[in-house]
Structure formats: structure tokens, C-alpha cells
Structure 1
Amino acid sequence: MPEVPIVMPQLGESIAEATIVKFNVRVGDVVSADEDLIEVETNKATMSVPTLCGGVIKELCAEEGESYAVGSVLGVIDVTEEEIARTGVSTVEEAQGAEGTAEEAEEANLHFKTEGGGYFEPKAVEPNVQGLPVPMGKKGAHYISPRMRARMNELGLQAADISAVNGSGAGGRVTVEDLEKFLDYISSWPSSSASPMRLAVADAMRRSWTRPLASVGRPIVMDKLLAHRSAQQPKPGLTLYVLRAFALALAEYPEAAGYLIGGKIVHPRAFDIGLAVQVDDGVMVPVVRDVDTKTVRDLTNDYAKLVELARARKLTEEHTRGGIATVTNFGTFGLTWGTPIPLPNETLILGISAGVKKPVWSDEVGAFIPVVEAELNLTFDHRVIDGGDAGRVLNRVAELLENPSSL
């Protein structure tokens, strides 16, 4: 009976490998075309590897918890000639012939059947998260020697990873011996492997921190907004109001969302705003499109769908690309203040805190009255805008949120 390989697919144009989370099938199971066989995790989301044809699982040659490169054969399905003719899939023999010799196939991480029977074991790879480390200076403790850099590369360490190491070299420089002593010191400590999601967040924050970031903040009175939300059916998410107000403010001050490239500031061509959604061991940021042209009511369905996909770790690259700024509602964790960090490809991130009941003086009634007050915090790339520009954006957001009927 012909055999068809189960291959790690290309899960996104910037994704080179994925980690196997769970097998949904076992050897001997009968499967149909487009059935989800394996759950995998990339540095962006959890996805499924489907079968392109129906048949019987003959072999699963990969391991849960291991990462495999795109193109790796993860298993084999026995398939009828009729199913092959119907679906047009390639067999193991056809794929091996297209790749040349068995040795060439193995080197390319395509693990096909050998002449003596059996299958090559797929080669697990280390998750590869590309990015810039925290910038280092050229003197004293900040200098990294070529020998030290080579050792860090062997261990997969970034410059930020050695910040806890005390240096004994000239001017406090960290030497290879210092690093080895530190690694030996912590070798018996409890530890856990960082997930692809955690590595992706760490990489993004390292790259973000290569820029001079600053934050401004101010309180807003939430009573009108909360009353407006309660009157809607269904009730829109509070974060959706902030998204909408942020987009309208940026449409009025588009230079605030510009991105510095060399000697130019590239302005946004659309006001697509990211939404930070907390998931296990990280944060997903789906992007809500054209927020400045749609009302809160118009955006409710898109918003709810993106939040659901993010929490299920089912976002695709299309869901996450192209945002010009992000909104994060850290108030959902009961926090009353914070300074969020923008993504490397964005200049701004706006955070909103939990609402707190406070007495506020009212000139209208000549007395203190109880109101619900929350903090807005805007973090920005100080190369692109200054505090005054950031303040104008933030004040406009606050004005819009305190008059929610305009949203």
C-alpha cells in the first residue's frame, strides 16, 4: 500500500520550526482528509497539522515536547491508490525521489524510508528566536570579548542574559571564567524550559528596549463610560472603547504613531490597533483593523472573535501583522498603575488601569463627590515624539472616553 508522509508544514513566512504539543492520533488510527493530527506551538500561536488525505496512521516518528524544522517528516500514513488519485498527494517514494539520495534527504531534515526498511528519526532542533540583544557599550563592564561572545553563542545566550553575572575582568568585564562559574553556581537551582511563547515575548522586549522609551499618564473619570457600556446590548468590552478612542486620537495626530527608519519618520497608512490578550506563559496581540472608521458597536464582533482566537492560541499571521500601536488593559488584574512596553515594530502602547472609587471635587455642586477613576498610561518612543505630543494624544483619548457617545 502506498505511504504518504506527515510533514511539518510552513506555518507562517517567518516561522522556521515548531514544537509538538500533542498527538491527536495513534498508530493504527483511521483518519480522513483535513483531520487535525498534531497540535504544534510556534513562537506566535498554537496550530494544528492536518492530513492532506485519508488513510491509516502507520508511524509517528516525532516526540511531544521537541521542536522540528519545517519540512520534517513527523509520521507516515498508509493510503489507498484511489485516495492518492483523489487528493493528488505525494507518496514517500515520490518525495524521496524529488529530494535525491536518502543522505541528501536526511541532511535536509526530510526523513524518508531507507532501503533497509524503517524511517530516519527526525532531527529535533533548538527553537530559534531571532532578534537584537540589549545594546552593549565598548568600555569596562559592558565590553564583550570575542572569546566571550563565542561562548555565549555556543550557549545561545544574549547580552541581557549575563546581566546577573559579576565580572572580575578589567573594569568589571564579565569573562568566560566568570560565566562558567555562574552557570555552575545555578546548575542545581530549580528551573524550567522557556516555551516558544515566552522566548518570543523575551525577544520582542529586548528589541523594544534598544529604544529610548518614556511614559506619561493621567486619570480619567469612568462613570459616563461605565453607564454607556451598561446600556448596550451586548455590552462591549471596556478595552474596545479604549481602542476606538486611541484610534480616533491617532487619526488626529498621525505623526505620534510614526516609525523612525534612518532619517525618515514613516507615518501610518491605516489605524489598525493591536489588543494585548494574556494567554498561558505570554501575551498575544491580535490587530483590530480600521478602528478609526468603525463605531464601538461595529467593532464588537471582530473584537470578540479576535480575543477568542487569541485565548485559544489560534491566531494566524494575518491576525497579528500591521498594527501601529497597542492597547493593554492591565486593570483586569486589579492593577492601578503600570508602564507597558510597546512592541518593537510600534511606537506607542496605551494602558488602562482598574477603576477605583475616589472623592473628586465638583465645582458644579461645590463639594466632593464619589466617582470611579482609572489611570491611562502611554509609553512612547522618545525619538519620534516628545512628552508634549504624547500628552496631547493622551488628553484626547481621555476626552473621548469621558464622552463615550462619540465612540
Structure 2
Amino acid sequence: MPEVPIVMPQLGESIAEATIVKINVAIGDVIEAEQDLIEVETNKATMSVPTLCGGIIKDLCLEEGVSYAVGSVLGVIDVTDEEIQRTGVSTVQQDQVEDQSHAPESDGESEDDEEANLHFKTEGGGYFEPKAVEPNVQGLPVPMGNKGAHYISPRMRARMNELGLQAADISAVNGSGAGGRVTVADLEKFLDYISAWPSSAASPMRLAVADAMRRSWSRPLATVARPIVMDALLAHRSAQVPKPGLTLYVLRAFALALAEHPEAAGYLIGGRIVHPRAFDIGLAVQVADGVMVPVVRNVDTKSVKELSNDYAELVELARGRRLTEEHTRGGIATVTNFGTFGLTWGTPIPLPNETLILGISAGVKKPVWSDQVGAFIPVMEAELNLTFDHRVIDGGDAGRVLNRVAELLESPENL
């Protein structure tokens, strides 16, 4: 009797997996088309998953409380030929024939084996691989994501390790393997192609920054921004002896805003969000061929004037590359003043161990309407840019933090 796979469907454009909440059928049950087989929960909703055809449940491979990726095979249904014709569903046997007819020729590598493909074994001993098709409103199977350009075989991984390459380093290589994956031959051809190009060795500092940014970008990051009027802040700074650095004001305002909204600085670890135990804020300092980030401790408990000595000492140590682990660990967020380079907008990237980074741009004179004067008046305006881990907070939470920072900077006497 023909077999039809039960597959975790595409339940939404951004849904990659779903958790089984309830299993409504058992092996041997007779089911009808459109009958609800399971109930699943995604990060957006709880919903039922129906079958596309009637038949008898032959095998199940799922558990309640366990999450399965979209495209995962959850079981098998025995279906009559008449039901196949009526519903038009694809059978295991049809998938196998079609996969074999479209299988690319071997490139001589041993990676298209059991490790490169996920198969499901039925009670009858047969094997099949879920068919990769475009999702539609009926929730047909979708690619499981185990083959393709992003899959790296053991042989390829070994060659990359020999060359000191990361996955991101081969993103420019066109793959000729199954599903578009990059083979060792593709990599060697690319390396030969660029061998005559001008190049220079990356410094340890550059490599450290590259590694941190690779790890940071594994998360979904987003940036929000808003302008602030700098006139009151600049006037307050000019009245101080000695003048504190502009970044100090931003550092202090950021710490106070986070102290009021500590959930925004939480860090996601598995199923838990770890909240800050102290408001220690990192300070991005540009050095030769990279950036160093010393951490200023307990920023929320000290005034701008009290922070000046700590700030000056850490900047000097950073520029002299004399920072120790004690100087750089434990920060919950970072401030970067890219306005010192004349930049008026940016999207800074937080460190891998932090959820937030706040950037401030260069000030620009702009005309702003004044109701008191009844005319446009020139003001100094700068942009604040807050990049955040979207898994931990949403745009509204980030906006509240950013608005509070702006409010404090526009009233510098409170800092």
C-alpha cells in the first residue's frame, strides 16, 4: 500500500520550528482527510495540523513537548490508490523516484552519505527523504535545511580547519555540489583564483574583532534611532573645569536609562533571560587596526564628574593596549562615539556577550521651529542609534530606553 509522510508544515513565513502540544492519533488509527493529527505551538500561536488525505497511521516518530524543525518527518500514513488519486498527495515512493531522477552526479566526495542526508525509517524497513517543495497555504512539506550551500561536509570542514577558515569566509564561493553546497574542489578553485590578488596578513587585533562580530551576527539584531538637541549638553560641558568628554555624558545617561529598564539589558541563555547585577558599561576605543572595549564600573551610581578619572585611565590603557581581562569583562552594554569620525549615522554591533550598543553621531547645525520665537532657530543636533538583540527586547522597549537617554542628555544637569 502506498505511504504518505506526515511532515511538520510551514506554519508562517518566519516560523522555523514548532513544539508538539498534543498528539491526537495513534498507530493503527483510521483517519479521514482534513482530520487534525496534532496540535503545535510556535512562537506566535497554537494551532492544529490536519492531514491532507485519509488512511491508516502506520508509524509515528514524535513526542509531546518536543520541538521539530519545519520539514521534519513525523510519521507515515498508509493510503489507498483511490485516496491518492482523489487528493493528489505525494507518496514516499514517488518522492524516492523523483529524488533519484533529479540527483546530481557525484563529485567524488564521500559527503553525500548518511551524515549529509536525513532519512526516516518505517516499520517495514523502507527509507525516504522528505521532498523539498515550496510551502503553500495547505502546509505542504518544505526543505529541512540539512543540505545546500550552508551545509559543510566533514571533508570540507577538515580542509577549512587546515586553512584556518570560518563558514563566513566561504560565503563568496559558488557551490557546484548537491543543493548548491560548496565542495573542496570549489574552494581550491576560488583560492587559486584570488592567489595573485594583493593581500596582507590580518593582525591579531583584526582577527579578534572579526571573530567577535561573526559571533555577534549569529543573532537577530535591529537598530532604532532618534535625534537629540545638543545645545544644553554642550553648554553644560563648556561650563565644567576640566571639560568632561562628551562620551561620558552618553555613558552616564545610558546607565541611568538601563537602571530604570533593566530588562532591556538582559541576556538570553537557553530558555532564561539573565538580568544585569550591575550597570557596568563598555566604552569603544579606536586603536590601530581595531577596537578595544574597556568597561566602566557602576556607572549608574556615579556622576559625570566622578566618572572622569575612571574614563581617562581606561582610555589611556586601551590606546596603549595595556588592558587586562579585569578591565574588559562583565560589561552589559557598550557606548560608541562614532561622531568623532564625522559620521552622522551608523548601526553599531553589540559584542557577543552583550544585548545592546548605543552610538552617537557627529553634531550638525539644523534649523528647528521655535514656538516661543515664532521662527526657525539654528540648533546643534545629533543622532542616537541603539542596536539590540531582537530576541530579548522589541522595538518598543528599545525605543523607551533610547527616549530616556535623549531626555537625560537634553537635561545634562541631572547627570
1:7-406 equivalences in 2 (<5 Å): 138-406=146-414
Question: How far apart are residue 139 of structure 1 and its match?
Answer: 2.9
* In 2: Cα distance, 1:140 partner to 1:160 partner: 15
* In 1: Cα distance, 2:364 partner to 2:248 partner: 19
Question: How far apart are residue 313 of structure 1 and its match?
Answer: 0.6
Q: Deviations over 1:64-97 (max 9, x none)?
A: xxxxxxxxxxxxxxxxxxxxxxxxxxxxxxxxxx
Match for 1:400: what amino acid? L
* In 2: Cα distance, 1:175 partner to 1:361 partner: 61
Q: Tell me the SS of whatever aligns to 1:142.
A: coil
Q: Tell me the SS of whatever aligns to 1:199.
A: helix
Q: Deviations over 1:268-318 (max 9, x none)?
A: 000000000000000000000110000000000110111011011111111
Question: How far apart are residue 170 of structure 1 and its match?
Answer: 2.3
Aligned length: 272
Question: How far apart are residue 171 of structure 1 and its match?
Answer: 2.5
Question: How far apart are residue 356 of structure 1 and its match?
Answer: 0.2
Match for 1:224: what amino acid? A
Q: Tell me the SS of whatever aligns to 1:140.
A: coil
Match for 2:256: what amino acid? L
* In 1: Cα distance, 2:146 partner to 2:338 partner: 38
Question: How far apart are residue 331 of structure 1 and its match?
Answer: 0.3
Question: How far apart are residue 361 of structure 1 and its match?
Answer: 1.2
Q: Tell me the SS of whatever aligns to 1:269.
A: coil
Ranked by relative contact order (alpha carbons within 8 Å, sequence separation 6 or more), the top structure is 1
* In 1: Cα distance, 2:227 partner to 2:195 partner: 46
* In 1: Cα distance, 2:310 partner to 2:319 partner: 14
* In 2: Cα distance, 1:186 partner to 1:320 partner: 37
Match for 1:396: what amino acid? R
Question: How far apart are residue 194 of structure 1 and its match?
Answer: 1.0
* In 2: Cα distance, 1:223 partner to 1:137 partner: 53
* In 1: Cα distance, 2:180 partner to 2:235 partner: 58
* In 2: Cα distance, 1:400 partner to 1:337 partner: 20
Question: 1:62 — aligned with what?
Answer: none
* In 2: Cα distance, 1:362 partner to 1:137 partner: 57
Q: Tell me the SS of whatever aligns to 2:149.
A: helix
Question: How far apart are residue 406 of structure 1 and its match?
Answer: 0.3
Question: How far apart are residue 392 of structure 1 and its match?
Answer: 0.1
Q: Which moved further from structure 2: 146-155 or 256-265?
A: 146-155
Contact 2:147 2:178 (C-alpha < 8 Å) held by counterparts = no
Question: How far apart are residue 172 of structure 1 and its match?
Answer: 2.0
Shift in CA distance, 366/139, structure 1 to aligned 2, threshold 3 Å? farther
Match for 1:395: what amino acid? N
* In 2: Cα distance, 1:262 partner to 1:146 partner: 27
Q: Tell me the SS of whatever aligns to 1:248.
A: helix
* In 1: Cα distance, 2:149 partner to 2:172 partner: 12
Match for 1:268: what amino acid? P
* In 2: Cα distance, 1:207 partner to 1:313 partner: 23
Q: Which moved further from structure 2: 167-176 or 271-280?
A: 167-176
Match for 1:158: what amino acid? Q
Match for 1:397: what amino acid? V
Q: Which moved further from structure 2: 316-325 or 144-153?
A: 144-153
Match for 1:347: what amino acid? T
Match for 1:310: what amino acid? A
Question: How far apart are residue 153 of structure 1 and its match?
Answer: 1.2
Structure 1: gaps of 5 or more residues:
1-135
Question: How far apart are residue 138 of structure 1 and its match?
Answer: 2.5
Larger Cα-atom Rg = 2
Q: Tell me the SS of whatever aligns to 1:215.
A: strand
* In 2: Cα distance, 1:308 partner to 1:137 partner: 48
* In 1: Cα distance, 2:251 partner to 2:166 partner: 34
* In 2: Cα distance, 1:209 partner to 1:391 partner: 21
Question: How far apart are residue 137 of structure 1 and its match?
Answer: 5.2
TM-score normalised per structure 1: 0.66
* In 2: Cα distance, 1:366 partner to 1:268 partner: 46
TM-score normalised per structure 2: 0.65
- Percent identity, aligned pairs only, is 91
Structure 2: gaps of 5 or more residues:
1-143
RMSD: 1.1
* In 2: Cα distance, 1:187 partner to 1:305 partner: 44
Q: Tell me the SS of whatever aligns to 1:383.
A: coil
* In 1: Cα distance, 2:292 partner to 2:164 partner: 24
* In 2: Cα distance, 1:138 partner to 1:254 partner: 38
* In 1: Cα distance, 2:297 partner to 2:151 partner: 44
Q: Which 4+ residue blocks in structure 1 deviate beyond 3 angstroms?
A: none
